[in-house]
Amino acid sequence: MDAKNNLLIDYKVTNCNDVKAMGNMLRRAKSILRTNEFTALYDKGYHTGSEFKMAHDLDINTLVAIPRQTFQAPDPAYNAENFTYIPDGDYYLCPQNQQLTTTGKCHKTEAYSFKRYATKACKSCSAKKLCTKSVRGKGVHRSEFHKYIQHNKERVELNKVLYKRRQAIVEHPYGTIKRQWGFSYIMTKKSQKRASAVVGLMMTAYNLRRIINILGMERFREFLLDRTALFFNKIAVLNRVLAPLWALLRKSQYWNLDKILPVKRLRLIQIPIPGRSF
């Protein structure tokens, strides 16, 4: 969705969630717009480390809402985001100024790999009950995509006003299509391609309506007349170029098989080569 004119740039009908959708959408948008000089706004459903890396590789800035942490400390002041990472020593400092180190071993999940940071000081720490309920003590996981996630967090913090516009930008077409036009559902029992075609018609109609509202009916009509004239002019030029070929192909004698492929005229030719002949 274009923020300036509220025009739809692209759409895709899928049968899966948004977790792995952002990277592909950015690649398609870059191809359509032929530039990467734009900022993409997404809700927290798209907050995935591997997708942030893909956005980084495409050199596209993203602002994705930060979801609430799944594992919360009894006291929010001891949540993992309040632990400071020290890159030079590859360790974390907790609010009690204790170092959480790692063995260097990478643990793997289905989506990413991570290193675990912990400290033995947890067992005797006076703030343990405020920090964690685990008997083993506090553990901080740092995924392979952490730096990309952190960069997104920094951009969101610096662009709060811009991110607040996301809902107004994105929800505008859905409010128009579903509430004003009454397209509150689509038929999906035929096939995903048919469902995609239906959505495509809705989006095209929405864009046409927006263009008419922006340009006005008279300018839009002039634009269509100009494009139509250009199209038929190109067809006329193409017809003039191909006219000799059409005339040639219409003559039936040129379709005589004996003339196209004169098999009777074929004969073996003797080619003198020392010690061998054909």
pTM (two decimals):
0.72
Look-up of token digits 């007349």: 225
* Domain finish residue from 144, 173, 193: 144
- The Cβ-side half-sphere exposure at 30, using a 13 Å CA radius, reads 18
Residue 120 lies in a domain: yes
Q: Which helix (H) or strand (E) holds 147?
A: helix 146-158
Residue 90 lies in a domain: yes
Q: Quick: pLDDT tens for 2-18.
A: 888 889 999 888 888 88
- pLDDT of res. 254: 53
Residue 225 lies in a domain: yes
| Domain tally, the chain | 2
Residue 246 lies in a domain: yes
- pLDDT of res. 276: 47
Tell me which residue range forms the domain holding 130.
Answer: 76-144
Q: Quick: pLDDT tens for 100-139.
A: 999 988 998 888 899 999 999 998 898 989 999 888 889 9
* Domain finish residue from 85, 113, 144: 144
Residue 113 lies in a domain: yes
Residue 199 lies in a domain: no
- pLDDT of res. 265: 46
- pLDDT of res. 147: 92
**DSSP characters for 153-206?**
HHHHHH-HHHHTTHHHHHHHHHIIIIIIS-------SS-HHHHHHHHHHHHHHH
Residue 30 lies in a domain: no
- pLDDT of res. 179: 86
Asked whether the CA dihedral 145, 112, 79, 156 is positive or negative, the reply is: positive
* Domain finish residue from 144, 163, 183: 144
Residue 25 lies in a domain: no
* Structure-derived torsion over alpha carbons of residues 64, 67, 69, 74, reported in degrees to the nearest 10: 120
Residues of the chain with pLDDT under 50: 261-271, 273, 276-278
